[in-house]
């Protein structure tokens, strides 16, 4: 099988999530399951809702929920405060940004970063429906956000970093844009056992957030090498369809901080 390069990976990811955004924009969830997009179970609106409380999702556009392909709820770990600036790596249709926007209030700021134009368009549309003035969405890649250094009090990310071919650059960018003492709360797919090489080369497994997942020690080591400290795995969950090689994949909630 031909080895996938970085450009191939990015293009297949953009195509998959562009399709998801277009489906969600008509308020119809994509025909999506645990082998086609991220998440510990089938990713449909009902499954996504299990990751959030009723209070968190109350009043959110159905399009934001339908476009979500997360594997956790990083905002639940974040302990956000009024006036803080939050940056979301891979903001999708905006669900985590909208929850964060409520927490930081009008004196705060939430910036969503996504490399898929359809997702940025959908998130901006959803923000307009909600009448939010403190949430904005930028078209950029998470390893090169174009944001000024020291912008964020906190970075969140929901099942996205595993999709990045160059994870070192992602964590270095996160460290750069965080303020001293800032923190990062991410949900992502991480391995506790290696998966076969042929599965890593399957494009379906890339968009499913499986092929790009790394071993836990390597993943956490990249965060440490970027400069993060107090790195902790708050929780980990097995996949619902954890048969065969998928038994080595976990959805993990991870937190870390930038030294003051």
Dump pLDDT digits (tens) for 81-107: 999 999 999 999 999 999 999 999 999
pLDDT at 97: 96
* Whole-number average pLDDT of the chain: 87
pLDDT band at 35 (very low <50, low <70, confident <90, very high): very low
Single pTM value for the model? 0.88
Average pLDDT for residues 215-226, to the nearest whole number?
98
Residue 84 CA to its chain's centroid (Å): 19
In this structure, are residues 78 and 152 in contact, taking their beta carbons and an 8 Å threshold? no
Range 35-51 average pLDDT: 50
Average pLDDT over residues 202-228: 92
How is residue 223 written in tokens?
């965060």
How many whole angstroms separate alpha carbon 82 and alpha carbon 200? 42
Alpha-carbon span 170 to 223, nearest angstrom: 9
3-state secondary structure 204-239: HHHHCCCCCCCEHHHHHHHHHHHCCEEEEEEEEEEC
- Give me the CATH topology for the region 6-77+154-257: Rossmann fold (3.40.50)
Lowest-confidence segment of 6-20, 40-54, 164-178, 206-220 by average pLDDT: 40-54
Give Cα 235 distance to the centre of its chain. Answer: 16
């Amino acid at each position: 099988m031909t080895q996938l390069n970085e450009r191939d990976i990015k293009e297949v990811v953009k195509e998959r999530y562009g399709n998801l955004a277009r489906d969600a924009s008509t308020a119809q969830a994509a025909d999506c399951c645990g082998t086609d997009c991220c998440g510990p179970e089938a990713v449909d609106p009902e499954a996504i809702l299990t990751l959030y409380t009723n209070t968190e999702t109350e009043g959110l556009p159905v399009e934001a929920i339908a476009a979500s392909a997360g594997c956790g709820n990083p905002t639940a770990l974040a302990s956000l405060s009024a006036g803080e600036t939050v940056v979301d790596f891979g903001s999708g249709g905006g669900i985590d940004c909208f929850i964060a926007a409520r927490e930081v209030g009008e004196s705060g700021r939430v910036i969503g970063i996504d490399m898929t134009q359809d997702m940025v368009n959908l998130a901006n549309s959803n923000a307009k429906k909600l009448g939010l003035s403190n949430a904005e969405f930028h078209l950029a890649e998470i390893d090169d956000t174009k944001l000024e250094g020291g912008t964020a009090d906190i970075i969140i990310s929901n099942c996205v970093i595993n999709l990045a071919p160059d994870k070192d650059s992602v964590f270095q960018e996160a460290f750069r844009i965080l303020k001293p003492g800032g923190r990062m709360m991410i949900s992502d797919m991480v391995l506790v056992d290696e998966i076969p090489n042929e599965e890593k080369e399957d494009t379906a497994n890339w968009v499913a957030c499986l092929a790009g997942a790394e071993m836990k020690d390597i993943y956490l080591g990249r965060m440490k090498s970027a400069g993060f400290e107090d790195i902790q795995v708050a929780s980990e969950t097995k996949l619902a369809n954890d048969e065969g090689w998928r038994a080595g994949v976990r959805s993990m909630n991870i937190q870390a901080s930038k030294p003051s």
